[in-house]
Amino acid sequence: MRRLKRLAGEAACDYVKDGMVVGLGTGSTVHYTIKKLGRMVGGGLRVIGIPTSIKSENLARQCKIPLSSLHEHPNVDISIDGADEVDPKLNLIKGMGGALVREKIVASVSRRLIIVIDDAKQVSRLGSKSPVPVEVLPFGWSTVLKRLEKLGMEVELRKSRKIPFVSDNGNYILDCRVKEISSPKRLESRLNNIPGVVENGLFVNLTNLVLVGTDMGLKTVR
């Protein structure tokens, strides 16, 4: 598994060119991207990274990748990120690593979004394996949970060591199991319409390219 993540994560660096502003995603696959990018920077590549989480920011700093913010660099040339599920239309579920809000903001201003996964993440329909993470304000979280249950979902407050998991933005995450996601776009806006919801992990029509690590080698899906 780690080998496949590494294969995809490192392959994404081939798409990074000198002078680019690069969105740095979050997770164990992009970990390999950031590390390789660090080695490329050590070899003379000039890039500016926009991290999507404190974890990725810390790793990028360790790797000596110059960093900036969306305020200073509002246009991102390329973003590289992981995913929890990818469907045949390249729509995604993201956020099991808890960084979905910043990831979606950075993806939304990126000219290109490259997703790096191992082949266990490819599904024929979103929601087959992963819940849809929904980031909510701590104020009124249980009210939002009830609203989501009324939509027919099985909802769980994400916990870390028995207490609520808190995102980099200071929010909670509700993991929502959905029986059947027939329209990811419709569900995405429906979820975001609930007062108290900050953002959800459905990424629709944002991805340009998926690099998949498989036992047979690297697979590219456009």
Residue 96 or residue 144: which is nearer to ligand 5RP going by CB? 96
C-alpha closest to that of 184 among 127, 121, 138, 129: 127
Residue 21 or residue 132: which is nearer to ligand 5RP going by CB? 132
Q: Is 106 in the site for ligand 5RP (CB under 6 A)?
A: no
Query: To 10 degrees, what angle do helices 2-11 and 30-42 make?
Result: 50
Residues 27-46 that bind ligand 5RP (CB under 6 A): 27-29
Q: Is 97 in the site for ligand 5RP (CB under 6 A)?
A: yes
Q: Which of 41, 96, 176, 211 binds ligand 5RP (CB under 6 A)?
A: 96
**CB contact burial 13-43 (16+ within 10 A = b; e otherwise):** bebbeeebbbbbbbbebbbbbbbbbbebbee
Residue 63 or residue 203: which is nearer to ligand 5RP going by CB? 203
Residue 54 tokens, joined: 């404190």
- Tell whether the torsion through CA atoms of 109, 111, 116 and 121 is positive or negative: positive
Considering only the stretches 12-20, 58-66, 98-106, 138-146, report the one whose residues sit in contact with ligand 5RP under the rule CB under 6 A: 98-106
Considering only the stretches 22-30, 141-149, 181-189, 207-215, report the one whose residues sit in contact with ligand 5RP under the rule CB under 6 A: 22-30
Active-site residues: which are they? 103
